[in-house]
Amino acid sequence: MAQLQPKSVRYVTLDVFTTERFKGNPLAIVKLPSDVTLGQDVKQRIAREFNLSETVFLHPPSSETPSRTCDIFTPSEELPFAGHPTIGTLVYLATTDGLATEVVQSLTLQTKAGPIKASFDEETGVAEASIPHNVRIHQKPVPWQSIVDAQPSLKELEAGSTTSCPLVSIVQGMTFITIKLQRLEDLDSLTPGCSPIDPSVLRWDEGWDSFTTPYFYVVVSENKDRRKMHVRSRMLEPTVGEDPATGSAASALAAYLALQRGTASATYSFNIEQGVEMGRKSEIGVKVRLDESGKAVKEVILSGAAVPVSQGTMVV
């Protein structure tokens, strides 16, 4: 019996949420040709081979409409949505994949979490994506003491005016413990190889069991009407270490902070820096628009730049 010949796929890597190579968050994009179909197990093995926080599998166009389907994998699982893969894929399509400007301006990415409408500014090199969201602030926050138990460097700190940390989902299946610290020095003191937070304190609302990880932040500044904010953040996940940029976490945090202000129909803008402490500074832009009641999120727009780093061929 003749052996099947292996097939090849092209891939590229980019650094996302930055305009400088070797900063930001690395991303691999595997371009799937029309004659190659990869099973979930193969995609998972490829993501594990790259061993980046996320790998995107970009499907070929399926029709005349400006829409592309992508699958997002970590080294251990598929995700319904993630921020830096979305922005990195959009910048790649706009700058490298030969799409016409008018197509890029009306491009839709199809993800497991839903369609993402996007645009790209050729002058600034920034992509914007109106991301899928189903923002939920869970009823039971995480006790501050559980955070301290996982991060011993915080034992001498005070939690400010709160004794607990909100548990916030940006979509079902992606949840973050939003942990406010008071000073940049406190943020710098955190340990990447920390212990995991006791899972028994993660009490999601019914039916919302989820991937959950801590997201630490400091409010650096905000303007007088509190609608523009500069934030520094860190995401420390014991199983993967530190993430230089987490668009989904930044979006969840921005939505939470906007809802705390709660002005009807207001738009809040956030400049979130992440990865500074690990030498991979990232610049994440998030805009959150509230509905007419001021009690629900109407739109979340994630933005950022990306730069190409490498390209090659993989045998599958």
Question: In three state form, how does the secondary structure of 186-229 look?
Answer: HHHCCCCCCCCCCHHHCCCCCCCCCEEEEEEEEEEEECCCCCEE
Distance CA 149, CA 122 (A): 47
Please tell me the predicted confidence (pLDDT) of residue 62.
Answer: 76
Query: 3-state class of 301 per DSSP?
Result: strand
Per-residue pLDDT of the chain (316 residues; tens, 9 = 90+): 455 678 899 999 999 999 999 999 999 999 999 888 899 999 999 999 999 999 999 998 876 667 889 999 999 999 988 899 999 999 999 888 666 555 666 788 999 988 899 888 888 999 999 999 999 999 999 999 999 999 988 887 755 556 899 999 999 989 999 999 999 999 999 988 778 899 999 999 999 998 899 999 999 999 988 899 999 999 998 767 899 999 999 999 999 999 999 999 999 999 999 999 999 999 999 999 999 999 999 999 999 999 999 999 999 9
Q: What is the DSSP letter of 313?
A: E
Distance CA 106, CA 236 (A): 35
Q: Which residues, listed in sequence order, are joined to residue 111 by a DSSP beta bridge? A: 114
Q: Are 59 and 35 in contact (CB under 8 A)?
A: no
Distance CA 28, CA 306 (A): 12
Distance CA 143, CA 125 (A): 41
Distance CA 128, CA 230 (A): 18
Please tell me the predicted confidence (pLDDT) of residue 166.
Answer: 97
> In which residue are the tokens 């930044």 written?
250
Q: Which residues, listed in sequence order, are joined to residue 273 by a DSSP beta bridge? A: 232, 283
Nearest to 49 by CA among 21, 23, 28: 28
Q: pTM above the 0.85 mark?
A: yes
Please tell me the predicted confidence (pLDDT) of residue 196.
Answer: 87
Cα distances from 41 to residues 45, 86, 105, 285, in angstroms, run 6, 22, 34, 34
